[in-house]
């Protein structure tokens, strides 16, 4: 199981994909609580897209769950498979999915990103250390309906150059 701890943005190097996306996210919030999905343009951040997952809030059997709408190639490599189209509860043990859902709900209510350092168990590689940012994103109704996750190894830079 992955060990995680919440961290402050200041602990993440400024060229890491999570920090680069945070700068973009903050710029486009202008006067709003969260980024509007309609304002997000992936062509403005091609160096971050491989490290991004988009999760959509989904009601499944009367319970809130999150469906993976997109998983960038860097994330697929990190986690070892492509979860696109799958619900969070389909890919994680129940207790782990519940912890993530609680964190997701906190980000939705607070309208602020949360950053983590994660020690991910990788078969054959022991653990890799990852920085992750979780960002709330609103749809037309201004309600948070998506969460953008940007995660990459600690040494990754948004321009593909190792730190």
Classify residue 160: in a domain, yes or no: no
Cβ-proximal residues to 28 (8 Å cutoff; 6+ apart), any chain: 35, 36, 39, 40
What are the phi and psi torsion angles at 144 (to 5°)? -70, 120
Residue 161: its pLDDT value, please? 40
Residue 79: its pLDDT value, please? 87
In which band, very low, low, confident or very high, does the pLDDT at 67 lie, cut at 50, 70 and 90? very high
Q: Rounded distance, CA 14 to CA 1, Å?
A: 28
For the chain, percent of residues with pLDDT exceeding 70: 89
Classify residue 22: in a domain, yes or no: yes
Work out the average pLDDT over 131-157. 86
Range of the domain at 86: 3-153
Going by C-alpha positions, the residue among 50, 31, 52, 63 that lies closest to residue 138 is 31
Classify residue 159: in a domain, yes or no: no
Classify residue 90: in a domain, yes or no: yes
Residue 72: its pLDDT value, please? 96
Classify residue 163: in a domain, yes or no: no
User: How many domains, the chain?
Assistant: 1
Residue 162: its pLDDT value, please? 41
Domain CATH code at residue 109? 3.30.450.20
Beta strands per DSSP E along 82-125: 114-122
Classify residue 161: in a domain, yes or no: no
Residue 32: its pLDDT value, please? 67
Question: What is the pTM (predicted TM-score) of this model?
Answer: 0.87
Classify residue 11: in a domain, yes or no: yes
List beta partners, residue 144. Answer: 138
């Amino acid at each position: 199981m992955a060990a995680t701890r919440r961290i402050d943005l200041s602990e993440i190097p400024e060229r890491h994909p999570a920090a680069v996306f945070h700068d973009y996210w903050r710029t486009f919030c202008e006067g709003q609580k969260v980024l509007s999905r309609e304002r997000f343009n992936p062509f403005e951040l091609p160096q971050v897209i491989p490290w991004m997952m988009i999760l959509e809030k989904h009601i499944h059997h009367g319970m809130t769950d999150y469906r993976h709408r997109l998983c960038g190639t860097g994330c697929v490599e990190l986690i070892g498979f492509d979860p696109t189209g799958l619900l969070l509860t389909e890919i994680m043990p129940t207790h782990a999915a519940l912890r993530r859902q609680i964190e997701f709900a906190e980000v939705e209510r607070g309208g602020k990103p949360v950053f983590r350092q994660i020690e991910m168990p990788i078969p054959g590689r022991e653990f890799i250390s990852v920085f992750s940012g979780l960002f709330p994103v609103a749809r037309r109704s201004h309600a948070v309906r998506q969460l953008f996750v940007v995660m990459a190894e600690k040494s990754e830079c948004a321009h593909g150059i190792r730190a």
